[in-house]
Amino acid sequence: MQLTGSEIVVECLKEQGVDTVFGYPGGTILNIYDALYKHSDEITHILTSHEQGAAHAADGYARSTGKVGVCMATSGPGATNLVTGIATAYMDSIPIVAITANVAKSGLGKDSFQEIDIVGATMPFTKHNFIVKEIEDLADTIRRAFTIAKSGRPGPVLVDITKDVTANKTEYTKQTPKAIEPYTDTIKEEDVDKVVELIKESNKPFIIAGGGLVASGAQDEFRKFADIIDTPVCDTLMGKGAIEGTNARYTGMIGMHGTKASNFGVTRCDLLIVIGARFSDRVVGNPNSFAPDAKIIHIDIDPTEINKNVKTDASIIGDANEILKRLNTKLEKQNHKEWMDEVGELKNKYPLALDKTTLNGPSIIDALYEITNGDAIVTTDVGQHQMWAAQFYKYKETRQLITSGGLGTMGYGVGACIGAKMANKDRICVNIAGDGCFRMNMNEIATATRYNIPIIQIVINNHVLGMVRQWQTLFYGKRYSNTVLDDQVDFVKISEGMGAKAYKCTTIDEFKNALKESIELNIPCVIDCQIDSDDKVFPMVPANTSISEAFSEEDLAAKGYDC
């Protein structure tokens, strides 16, 4: 049948099972929005307050489900406002498709009104991108975009469509998407056998669980694998939930703000198995002193990650779930009781500091965990609150922590929380932000109230840019250059002005009561938690130093340092 380009866009979204789109209309994309209007009973469109919020919402939808998230924007500033969200998804390997419209083909290259080369602009941080100038190419391009976004190592794909293509007509035939098969061709039997032998020879193995385990849906096989080889497990920020936060094997996060048990344990191990992680600088610290006594096994779907940051002794390239299935069938049950006891002693000796009597970052996250029974989907912005959310909420499963890891995007959280809630209407969805981050995206509270999307926003408000101030305290002689937010902004009044229920808390009991009421009300709520400006995240590893140098506040006090 003959359809316009705009109708083809909508039909292709329906082919892919898309039920929700996040975006903001404008001149060049109006035809597509007109087609969406006619299909509003099949595809829900969420009008965000800013295009960046739309990109983050699509990202949150994707992270919480494993499906492809979709966002839309018009040409020029609409498209460029998506850039930060696209880059955020790229750094964390998140499958989103961003659809933009550009000026007509005849206007390209002429500095037409709101013309921008968004394909050129996003080329360095998309998995692939397209510009569609002929309507005959449109349907296949959109289908390819979805396939690319979710196959192999996932990532964002941008499709830019000239306005004339959205108006022209061509023949459209519906297609059923082919199933995306896991990458197995690269899994070599000799690589698997080598890994099996290294595991059998090891007396002190340790596992780092990364985001690739989440992307591949390998939670069950991974937990079985850890039990078979009888090993402690730590995770990266992106690997949260691969193993339960309450599991006896779990030692906490590794890296700059990882636990001492994880950092010291990895330093002492004789075999380090890294699955679906890329040895980022925040995990490794100084690569020359990382896991100095260990042979290193790297399992990853992307061959370019092997030996990129850390030299490995063995590797397997392919889908983590498929690889773990093969390893689990070849391995016999191991027994490393002495090593597990040694690491257990580290956990007992170096617990995370938690004061439950006052209102502080850790106590807020701990109370959130207790009140939600560990079942909430938690989104965060970036900074101290993000690290506390990683440290103190005990995630039961993958896709529970939704956070910007690689790019570290302030302003990510509210949009991502809206996206997660739209995909998980029966789950409690909570965004945790610092006051600095909340300033960057609090306009999306208006989006939540417009559609009555019942998210809970917790602002950990210390009236400073907390993580930057922490660095200034420890490494810059307490010179607080432009990190003090000592203005008259009242988040309660602002939130109420956008239609949300809002609370201000100064004690932990006030917070608990506000959180319980927010859950019961099931409407958009904002909880402004006033904490001390000098609260810090510990442990900490200085940049580019060995993770074995992790220090706590007590370590600094013992050296006479007042922080």
Provide the annotated active-site residues. Answer: 51, 113-114, 163, 467
SS3 215: helix
CA proximity to 377, closest of 92, 65, 97: 65
H-only helix segments in 320-465: 320-330, 337-349, 361-372, 384-392, 413-423, 435-441, 444-450
SS3 265: helix
> Strand pairing partners for 297?
273, 314
On whether the CB atoms of residues 402 and 378 are closer than 8 A, the answer is: yes
> 401: part of which helix (H) or strand (E)?
strand 401-402
**Rounded CA gap, 538 and 523, in Å?**
34
Under DSSP, the state recorded for 7 is H
> Strand pairing partners for 80?
none
Q: For CA atoms 312, 318, 324, 330, give the dihedral sign.
A: negative
**Residues whose CB is less than 8 angstroms from the CB of residue 414 and which lie 6 or more positions away in sequence, other chains included:** 53, 56, 431, 433, 438, 441, 442, 444, 445, 447, 448, 455, 457
Q: Kindly list the strands in the beta sheet with 525-530, ordered across the sheet, starting from the edge strand earlier in the chain.
A: 401-402, 377-380, 429-434, 456-461, 525-530, 501-505
